Chain A
Amino acid sequence: MRSLKRLTGFDVINYGLIVLVSMAMLYPFANVLAVSLSSYSAYIENPTRIWPDEFSFAAYREMLSKPILWSSYLNTIIVTVCGVFFGILLYIVTAYPLSKGYLKGRKLLMVAVVFSMLFNGGIIPNFYLMRELGLLDTLTALVMPMLFTGFNLILMKTFMEHIPEELEEAARIDGASEPYVLFRIVVPLSKPIIATLCLFTAVTYWNNFFNAVLYIRSVDKWPLMLYLNEIIRSANLASTSADGNLAEQGAFDVMPETLQYAAIMVVMIPILCVYPFLQKYFVKGIMLGSVKG
């Protein structure tokens, strides 16, 4: 009761506005979920619903029966796992020496890193590089372009700079080699930033569409996002050209519109699953990384 009494008019308006913002964030997802579980006629009758009507799993069943869904899912998983694993490994081994004040040439190396963030050759030279390397239309072409970014490297380096040097010195006096110090002492202490970067890079790889548009041709190499885009395109083609007549003609078992909602859900599920668990890490990681000297 006491805490309720302290709610002033300001609080009520403030809380109300925040709830409105949160609802605006949630609404599209609630709507997509509800429509994906509804029949097409229920969707046409009222598309604004946030609760399913004429409940049906048909769209999901249709979605999961498509072989391209499974192959593109697998491709995206392969690309994401490789990108995260090799990316994090690269960030760890590169950030460690750069976090040492006594590293000779450190300044010059950092200039090289920062310059690579600020200037780039552009889409076409990158495309030609992939072509010359023979990586066009391979999954490697999806992993390589985003594997190692200056931004993430600097986050990791800044974090490592705050690890007390004494811990490492003690191990070195005991005769530990540099790789031992890095992987047995520094890496375990860097868990928060590693978790943050894992989440960031995993999401970046999972969601990336641009590189696939650029480098991938064959359907069996499609990542999930190319396939999802294809489903969305055909749904919108259907909805603009046919004005819903196709349903009456019985041209589809599941209408493309509801199918696209189910597809969106299927693509988002992994992110929805890991997001709540990693949230506490990334807020901490960002805060630590943004503390710049």
Chain B
Amino acid sequence: MQYLKRHYWLYIFLIPGFSYLLLFKYVPMAGIVIAFKDLSLTKGILNSDWVGWYHFETLLTSSNFYRVLRNSLLLSFYQIVWGFPAPILLALMLNEVRHLAFKRVTQTIIYFPHFISWVVMAGIVMSFLSPSTGIVNYVLHTLGFDSVAFLLKPEYFRSIIVSSEVWKEVGWGTIIYFAAISGIDPTLYESATIDGANRFQKMWHITLPGIAATIVILLLLKLGNILDNGFEQIYLLYNPMTYATGDVFETYTFRIGLQQGRISYGTAVGLFKAVVGFALIMSANSLARKISKKSIW
């Protein structure tokens, strides 16, 4: 009681933030009951009939579901293969730069694409790849090749998404590694220089081990988020011609649930993703804790 009397302000401060979390995060979590009901708009959520696991059975027997799962995993896989090492490499390269002005200008340039919206990005991608007026086809044409309608071909979709994402985020991704590099004890480099180590040896034996923990944690975090592909980039660039490789959980839930009105089924798809995603991120965190004695959060 004495404690409350002394610190009551602290608890008053907490009220708005946690009311927000309750209303906008936890109430929608309760909304997952929709997945176990046959939602009828006239009856409302509470009075609609329970159907148990019906929507999940439909889900597991639907071929669209497996297509979405496959697309989602493959897209994340390629994003990790190309997008994960790139900022590490770039950070190591920039770390070797001695001219501070050069370094600063480069950083200003490479961080910038992160601040561009996906709508702008998709606009640039679409016009660059346009079959009639786009740059890419202009170059192909000049070299004597035929125009290609890249955005209508499923076989190009993943490459387009992955490369635009790498372009946008590679520079931004270096910041966290710079933070890790700045934490390395400078005397290590000094003594290595005295021992006659060259720059590659220092990079290999000091810088890389120094940021290894960060690399492992970020990789685990990426693996934990493997079902998240992001809605905007896909939604803005895909079309019915490229659903075969481009349709992922976010876009599928949106189309099925809100555009086609299969609300309960759409919620079930979303819930599947949320539960599996939660399990993945929890295991990633416990692994990270074991490896580096540090939790991700």
Residues of A within 8 A of B (CB): 3, 6, 10-11, 14-15, 17-18, 21-22, 24-26, 28, 31-32, 43-44, 46-48, 90-91, 93-94, 96-98, 100, 102-104, 109, 112-114, 116-129, 144-145, 147-148, 153-154, 177-179, 182, 203, 206-210, 213-214, 225, 228-229, 232, 235-236, 239-240, 243-244, 257, 260-261, 263-264, 267-268, 271, 275-276, 279, 283, 286-287, 290-292
28 CB contacts below 8 A, A to B, read A3-B99, A6-B98, A10-B96, A22-B109, A24-B167, A31-B135, A46-B138, A47-B135, A48-B139, A97-B13, A103-B7, A118-B278, A121-B31, A122-B267, A122-B273, A123-B250, A124-B31, A124-B267, A148-B24, A182-B13, A207-B118, A210-B235, A213-B235, A239-B131, A239-B133, A260-B123, A267-B117, A286-B179
Whether B40 sits at the interface, judged by CB under 8 Å, is: no
Supposing A26-B109, A28-B128 touch, asked if A113 and B21 sit within 8 A by C-beta, the answer is yes
What chain B residues lie within 8 Å of A279 (beta carbons)?
108, 111
Could you tell me the distance in whole angstroms from the C-beta of B207 to the nearest C-beta in chain A? 14
B30 touches A121 (CB 8 A): yes
B94 touches A257 (CB 8 A): no
- Which of the 9-residue segments B65-73, B186-194, B252-260 touches chain A? B252-260
What chain A residues lie within 8 Å of B176 (beta carbons)?
286, 290
Whether B17 sits at the interface, judged by CB under 8 Å, is: yes
A257 touches B133 (CB 8 A): yes
B13 touches A232 (CB 8 A): no
Whether B106 sits at the interface, judged by CB under 8 Å, is: yes
Could you tell me the distance in whole angstroms from the C-beta of A125 to the nearest C-beta in chain B? 3
- Bound-state Cα–Cα, A5 to B161, Å: 43
A10 touches B16 (CB 8 A): no
- Bound-state Cα–Cα, A148 to B22, Å: 11
- Bound-state Cα–Cα, A206 to B120, Å: 12
Most buried by A among B26, B131, B273: B26
Whether B28 sits at the interface, judged by CB under 8 Å, is: yes
Could you tell me the distance in whole angstroms from the C-beta of B80 to the nearest C-beta in chain A? 19
From the candidates B28, B93, B131, name the one contacting A122 in the complex (CB within 8 A): B28
B28 touches A125 (CB 8 A): yes
CB closest chain-B residue, reference A288: B179
Residues of B within 8 A of A (CB): 3, 7, 9-11, 13-14, 16-18, 20-21, 23-32, 34, 45, 90, 93-94, 96-99, 102, 105-113, 115-120, 122-124, 126-128, 130-135, 138-139, 149, 167, 170-171, 175-176, 178-179, 182, 199-200, 231-232, 235-236, 250, 253-254, 257-258, 263, 266-267, 270-271, 273-274, 277-278, 281-282, 294, 297
CB closest chain-B residue, reference A31: B135
- Bound-state Cα–Cα, A43 to B128, Å: 12
What chain A residues lie within 8 Å of B294 (beta carbons)?
292
Instruction: Give the dominant DSSP class at B's interface.
Output: helix
What chain A residues lie within 8 Å of B45 (beta carbons)?
128
Could you tell me the distance in whole angstroms from the C-beta of A43 to the nearest C-beta in chain B? 7
What chain B residues lie within 8 Å of A128 (beta carbons)?
28, 31, 34, 45
A120 touches B20 (CB 8 A): no
B133 touches A210 (CB 8 A): no
Instruction: Give the dominant DSSP class at A's interface.
Output: helix
CB closest chain-B residue, reference A271: B115
Work out how many contacts link A and B, with CB atoms closer than 8 A. 254
A125 touches B135 (CB 8 A): no
What chain A residues lie within 8 Å of B267 (beta carbons)?
122, 124-125
A103 touches B10 (CB 8 A): yes
Supposing A118-B281, A264-B124, A268-B116 touch, asked if A209 and B236 sit within 8 A by C-beta, the answer is yes
A264 touches B123 (CB 8 A): yes
Closest 9 CB pairs of A and B: A125-B31, A122-B270, A94-B17, A121-B28, A207-B117, A178-B9, A97-B10, A125-B28, A116-B25
A28 touches B124 (CB 8 A): yes
What chain A residues lie within 8 Å of B127 (beta carbons)?
232, 235-236, 239, 257, 260-261
A267 touches B111 (CB 8 A): no
Most buried by A among B10, B139, B170, B179: B10
From the candidates B93, B108, B231, name the one contacting A17 in the complex (CB within 8 A): B93
From the candidates B108, B120, B175, name the one contacting A268 in the complex (CB within 8 A): B120
From the candidates B105, B138, B266, name the one contacting A48 in the complex (CB within 8 A): B138
CB closest chain-A residue, reference B271: A122
- Bound-state Cα–Cα, A103 to B113, Å: 40
CB closest chain-A residue, reference B21: A116
What chain A residues lie within 8 Å of B139 (beta carbons)?
48
CB closest chain-A residue, reference B230: A210
In the complex, given contacts A123-B253, A257-B133, A290-B176, what are 14 additional A-B residue pairs having Cβ atoms less than 8 angstroms apart?
A11-B98, A22-B105, A47-B135, A118-B278, A120-B274, A121-B30, A121-B32, A124-B31, A210-B235, A229-B119, A232-B122, A239-B134, A264-B120, A267-B120
